[in-house]
Amino acid sequence: MSRLRTYAGLVWIALRQLRSDRMRTVLAVIGVTLAVLSVTLLTGVGAGVISTGNQMFDDSGRDLWVSGGPIEVAPGSVGGFQNPIPNSQPLAQNISSHEDVQNAVPMAFQVVYVSTNGEEFDTTLGSGVPGVGGGSVSIQEGEGFTGPDTHYADGTYEGNMTHQAIVSPSMAEEFDLEVGDTVYLGGTIANARENEFEVVGISPTFENFLGTGTVTTRLSELQTLTGNAYDDSATLITIQTTPGADREAVRDDLAAQHPDYTFRTNQEQLVSLLERQAVVLAAGASLVILGIVAGGILSLNLLLSLIYVQRKPLAVLRAVGATRRGVVGVAIVQALVIATSGYLLGIGATPVLAMVLDQIALTVTGFEGLVQVPQYAYLAGAGVAFGFALIGGIAGAWRVTRVASATQLVR
């Protein structure tokens, strides 16, 4: 019972000392809170990017991705991009002949001009797929492309255009479009004025994947509109393997047959995309480290300051017979109270701030769910909060208990 009263007395003294200098206590709690938030939020960004990326690739229904090198920006050119895969449609047909390949779909992306009245034009991202989309476009409204790709005409590009277009939901909303409406579309304004397309469907496929509004036409027609029909260039080729096929084995087999191109699985494609953002990822990692260090140093410094300004009260404790263990106990209790308060504030604010950051990311990138705080982020935040608290408490206690007498404590 006496030991229990002793512990209760230490806790009471520790809390009373914290109340006596509320500003330092509040600042110490804020320091721990910032350290916790830096861990939970920035970890949430990393986890959200990975989760969203994996979900997008899984939803695409594709198994392998073929690229011919980096997509080069071509300022001043029609379409704005130099797509790296020439002769894409014959190459896709060749890939489709593999026994474990169900279909291979070449896709191209270019910047195009679009208008609903032929007078005022805006730029948007145009995407091109062959035939009826090869299963690569899911239709939300309308029928989508109907009939054959007459314009491709076995690679001659001499057939009539179908002038059919599929728009994304955000583009349909922005231009107030419905199935059956018409839009003017082309790689240049002059070209767009001469090409009127019928909206035959609304599809979220490329908007979900690219994070921006898109208009989709048949590949051959987009190539003609943007001046890429001469070499049948495409941005990439997606592959769907047959059920039960070993994707890695198919990848290796196709890579051996086509050494000029890179074949990747969904996971490898995601890693490749993230590697291109190495500077951004490095900056994010630096922010995590900086946040942890800054918050930790702030809370540690304030905890040590709390101990320092309590030299006289601690001297009195020693003078009336308190043991070194008792003085250490007071310092550790104070550190744990500050750590607990800061951690609770941090995890309480995390969901709200994560929601705000996710909305900002959605506005900037067009992708939803880029900030997802996993459970291990909260555990990591607890480790940071209580880790720094224990360091501060132990360091402060060590500083105090080094002093041999109450007289020296007062100095």
* Cα–Cα distance, 49 to 58 (Å, whole number): 14
pLDDT recorded at residue 219: 93
**Is the model's pLDDT at 153 over the cut of 70?**
yes
Evaluate if residue 149 carries a pLDDT over 80. yes
pLDDT score of 134: 45
**Average pLDDT over all residues of the chain:** 78
Phi, psi for residue 109 in degrees, rounded to 5: -130, 130
CB 40 within 8 A of CB 377: yes
Identify the CA nearest to 210 among candidates 81, 355, 90, 101: 81
The pLDDT of residue 1 is above 60: no
Tell me the per-residue pLDDT of 53-106, one tens digit each, with 9 for 90 and over.
666 666 556 788 898 866 554 444 555 557 889 999 999 999 999 999 988 889
Q: If you count DSSP H runs as helices and E runs as strands, how many of each does the chain have, helices first?
A: 14, 12
pLDDT at 385 over 50: yes
**Residue 263: closest CA among 63, 67, 94:** 67
Per the listing, tokens 């209760």 go with: 8
Higher pLDDT, 61 or 391: 391
Residue 365 has a pLDDT of 60
* Phi–psi pair at 257, nearest 5 degrees: -75, -30
DSSP E strand boundaries for 132-235:
141-142, 164-167, 182-186, 196-202, 214-218
Predicted TM-score (pTM) of this structure: 0.64
Helix axes 311-319, 278-309, angle to 10 degrees: 50
- Looking at residues 40-57, what average pLDDT do you find? 71
Residue 132: name the closest of 108, 150, 155 by CA.
150
Taking 80 as the threshold, does the pLDDT of residue 131 lie above it? no
Q: Is 70 exposed, middle or buried (0-12, 13-18, 19+ CB in 10 A)?
A: exposed
Is residue 406 predicted with pLDDT exceeding 50? no
Predicted local distance difference test score (pLDDT) of residue 76: 47
Who wins on pLDDT, 327 or 278? 327
Contact (Cβ atoms closer than 8 angstroms) between residue 67 and residue 236: yes
Residues 6+ apart with CB under 8 A from 141: 179, 201, 202
Q: To which H or E segment does residue 159 belong?
A: none
What is the average pLDDT across 119-130? 90
pLDDT number for residue 387: 81
Do residues 53 and 367 make contact, with C-beta atoms less than 8 angstroms apart? no
Residues pairing with 139 in the sheet: none
What is the predicted pLDDT for the residue at 138? 81
**Lowest mean pLDDT, pick from 47-61, 157-171, 209-223, 364-378:** 47-61
Does residue 153 come out as left (phi exceeding 0), alpha (psi in the -120 to 50 range) or beta? left
> What pLDDT is recorded for position 370?
72
| Residue percentage of the chain with pLDDT more than 70 | 67
Mean pLDDT of 206-214: 81
- The H-or-E segment that residue 12 falls in is helix 2-20
Q: Compute the distance between CA of residue 265 and CA of residue 280 in angstroms, rounded to an integer.
A: 23
pLDDT confidence bin for 311, thresholds 50/70/90: low
Query: Pick the residue with more confidence: 322 or 50?
Result: 50
